[in-house]
Amino acid sequence: MNVRFDLSEGHGIVTVTGALNAACVDSFRDQFHRWMGDNDGIRKIVLDLAAMDFIDSAGLGVLIAMLKRVSERGGDILIAKLQKKARVVFEITRAYKIFEIYDSVEEALKAKA
């Protein structure tokens, strides 16, 4: 799994490539927390999942925990470009009720935080 953190007009864009599963959630969590610590003022974070080909319950758990943490600071995590395999996991676990999911990063960036 690879993660890239970018900033666009004051919003964060986190691009995840590969699988987000139990084997790499700890590393993902640590990188995210470090980045959040360095960019304390960010309220809206867009997760670009176009290149994420797999997610399991551990990966989903980390995303929900991240959302909780960001929400407590008055922000939101928006998901963009969810691919079929990951989308099925979101459907089965009803995680689509928790996250705001957009068809593209641009749509997510346009949305109100």
Partner 1 sequence: MKAVFHTGVPAGWGDTLGDRPWCLAPVGGKPLIEYWLEWAFDIGAVDVRIVLGDGADEVEEFCGDGSRWGLHADFSFLRNTSAPDDYLRRSPEQWTDGLLYICGPVFPRRLRPPPWAKPAEGVTLRVVDAGQTACLLSRDTRALRAFLSGAPPQSNGSWADLQLDPMTLRDVKSYYDLNMCLVGGELSHYVPPGYLNGDGASIGYNVMIPLSVELRPPLVIGNDCRIHSMAVVGPNAVIGNHVIVDRQTELSDCVVIDGTYLGRNLEISGKIVSGSRVVSPDDGSVVELSEPWLLARLESESRSNDLLRALVGWAVAVGLMLAQAIPFVLLYPLIRIYSIGSYRLSSRIGLGGRVRRLPVWTTLNSQSRLGRCFVGLGLDLFPLIALAAFGRIWLCGHAPLHPERDQALRKRLHRYFPAAIGYHTRRAEAGGHAVETTNALYYERYRSPAEDLRTVVRTLAGRFLDALSGESATAC
Closest distance of CB 40 from partner 1, Å? 18
Closest distance of CB 84 from partner 1, Å? 8
Q: Which residue's structure tokens are 């004051």?
A: 10
Q: Cα angle vertex 46, ends 33, 28, to 5°?
A: 35
- Of 38 and 92, nearer to partner 1 (C-beta) is 92
CA 50/CA 40 separation, integer angstroms: 26
- Of 27 and 57, nearer to partner 1 (C-beta) is 57
3-class SS at 36? helix
- Of 50 and 64, nearer to partner 1 (C-beta) is 64
3-class SS at 52? strand
Could you list the residues that contact partner 1 (CB under 8 A)? 22, 26, 56-58, 60-62, 64-65, 67-69, 82, 87-104, 106-107, 110-111
